[in-house]
Structure formats: C-alpha cells, structure tokens
Amino acid sequence: MKINNISDLKDFIDGCTLLGVGGGGNPEEGFRALKSVLEEKGSIEWIDVNQIDDNAIAICPFLMGSTAPLSTEKIKQRDDLELTTIKNPINLMNAVQEWENYTGKKVDVVVPIEVGGSNMPVPIAVAHKLNKITVDGDYAGRAIPEIFQTSLMLEDVPFCPGVSVDKYGNIAIIKEAISIRLAERMGKYLSQVAFGSTGMAGFPVNGKQLKRLLVRGSVSTAYKIGKMLKSTRDKQTELKFEMEKIGGKLVFKGKVVLKEGKDWDGYYIGFHTIEGEDDFRDERLKIFFKNENHIAWKNEKYVVSSPDLICCIEPNLVKPMRNNEINEGTYLEVYALPCHPVLRREEVLKWLCPRYFGFDSDYVPIQAK
C-alpha cells in the first residue's frame, strides 16, 4: 500500500485527522510536508515492521505544544522576542539530525508517536527525506496529549536523550530526566517558549523492541479511513452507515452552542457543549478536550471516554474537525470508536482514563456494533 498522487495524499491526511480526535497537529502542515516528498520521490511508502532488522535503531519524532490560537498579546510578545523568521519549516527533520549528531548513532527507522493530521504525516515525510525506513504503525493508534500515554510505557522506554528544535532555530538537548512525566513537562515548557509547538526526537528503541511495542497497521488504517470519507463525500452515502463499517458508533449530532477553551501549561484545554437535533433533540452533549477529545457526557451522564476515540465530523463536508476549528454554531456528528487494545492495558490506561484528567468516573470500554 502506498500513496501515489495528490488525491491519495488528501485522503490519507483526512484519515489521520479523524484518528487525531480533535488534536494531532495541523493537517495543512502534514499535507505540505508529504506533498514535498511526493513531488520529490514520486510515491510515499511504508513497510511491515517484521521486515526490520532486530538491531536497527528506531527514533520517534513528534510535535509538542498547544493548538490553542495565539492571543494578540502573545503574538506581540513573540514578535518582540524576534521569533519572526522560520528557519526550520520541517523542524522534526532537524530534530532527528540533531539526535544523531548528539548521540553519534545512525537512525534507521522513524516512527510516529501517534496518529494525527501532522503528527503522523510529518514523521513519514522526515523518514523519506532522510532516507530512513517508514513502518506501518505508531505507538498509540490515535492522538494523545502526553508522551507517556503510549505503548512505549509497557517497557518503560525512556525519552532521553531527547532533542527539541523549534521552527525559529532554537535547539535544546534533554540529556536526562528523572521521569517520563518530567520529560513531558520540560518539552511542554520549550514549546511555550516557541509560542506554539516544537519538534522533538527521542524514545530510541531497537528493532526487536519495535516489533513488540508498535501499534501495527495504523498508517494503512488512516489511509483506508480517508478513502472511506472520500467515498462518502463523492457517493453521498450516509456517514453513519460508513462509520459503522469501521466500528464507529454515532453518539450525538447537533450544533455547538458553547465553546470554552484556553491555553494552559502548553495544552489546549476546554469544553464543547452541543445541542442535539433529530434523534437527539432536547438533549445536550458536553465534550472535554485536552488537545484531543477525552470525555463526553450526554445530559450530564457519562457516554464515552479515552482511551476510546471521540471523533467530531462536520457532516455536510464530511470533514474531521480539530478542536481549534470548532466554534459556536458549528454543526457536528460525534462518533465513538474503540481504541487499540494496548491502550486498555493498565500501564497505559492509568494515564488516559477519566480519573487521570480529574473527573470522578471510571473508564467503560465501548463496543462496536
């Protein structure tokens, strides 16, 4: 399976954005990065992880930071600090190169930490531009706000040594951190310095570990979901019916009547309140997001939560919506999708359940129809 043309690429970005569950980075950035690869290489390919040598070195580059829109005050502050010239448009590529320079080791495989509009496509673009291998998988099967909410925690893979490179040319090495949560905190503060996001590279593993830890097939899954969304638009088939084919369950539809959101410690945090229509008339759904969607309540009763996926789609355009795009008046259909089983393992679930986000609810797995 590979991407051969712009139409395929657009479909892939759509699928990545849906699995980004409201976060996962800017799909326009992901599209630009892979479009450049397509023009240069002619195709975008990935392979099964079983083809990787056990002694290969795999590195994980990802974007870290808040997706919250910048206030006028922060834009002024950024400009006053002379952060106005983009030196590293694909800063994840610079992060991988800086990691190699610092460690003296050659990276063989580049692995996305998650699925999202840029956080999967850009690492794939980096792999192709640096002539590294792209495997069919990531470490979460969805987008997540914190780097320890992944399959890497099954074996306590350390992030360090890690590298941070922002688009303006600032470079930092995180040589050591006393815990993965502190490594996350350091990275988030570096992203705040950059007034948005920074490109990180870390979590080195060998090929043998990669085969144990990879959430397999997620690149191909994103591609297939994007094709499904395109087919729904072109053939004007019912979105609900097509989503059910991939395990999705319609949990709500209606118009956003209240949007609350703020940038907090490098995360975009808030709530969407949706007023129901059609079968959901006279009901309300409230969604909590921390970069990504994590908990939904209907009429103040728990409906679905992370690690399962809460996907918001604008049905007229069949467009997966990110949280910074959703505003009061936006019409949405909200779907729940079951997560990859690895996220239900205790080592990961404890960091993705409602109680971790501060809510008095237990995680209840959804089951596809």
pLDDT in tens, 358-369: 999 999 999 743
- Classify the phi-psi angles of 296: left when phi > 0, otherwise alpha if psi is within -120 to 50, otherwise beta: beta
The 10s digit of each residue's pLDDT in 135-171 is: 999 999 999 999 999 999 999 999 999 999 999 999 9
Q: Which domains does the chain have, with CATH numbers?
A: 2-218 (3.40.1610.10), 238-349 (2.40.390.10)
The 10s digit of each residue's pLDDT in 189-233 is: 999 899 888 999 999 999 999 999 999 999 999 999 999 999 999
Q: Report the predicted TM-score, pTM, of the whole model to 2 decimal places.
A: 0.93
**Helix (H), strand (E) counts: the chain:** 10, 18
When computed from its CA atoms, the radius of gyration of the chain, rounded to whole angstroms, is 19
> For residue 209, what are the contacts with CB-CB under 8 A and spacing of at least 6?
58, 155, 157
- Give pLDDT, residue 369: 38
pLDDT in tens, the chain (369 residues): 899 999 999 999 999 999 999 999 999 999 999 999 999 999 999 999 999 999 999 999 998 887 778 889 988 989 999 888 988 888 999 999 999 999 999 999 999 999 999 999 999 999 999 999 999 999 999 999 999 999 999 999 999 999 999 999 999 999 999 999 999 999 989 998 998 889 999 999 999 999 999 999 999 999 999 999 999 999 888 999 999 999 999 999 999 999 999 888 878 999 999 999 999 999 999 999 999 999 999 999 999 999 999 999 999 999 999 999 999 999 999 999 999 999 999 999 999 999 999 999 999 999 743
- Give pLDDT, residue 196: 81
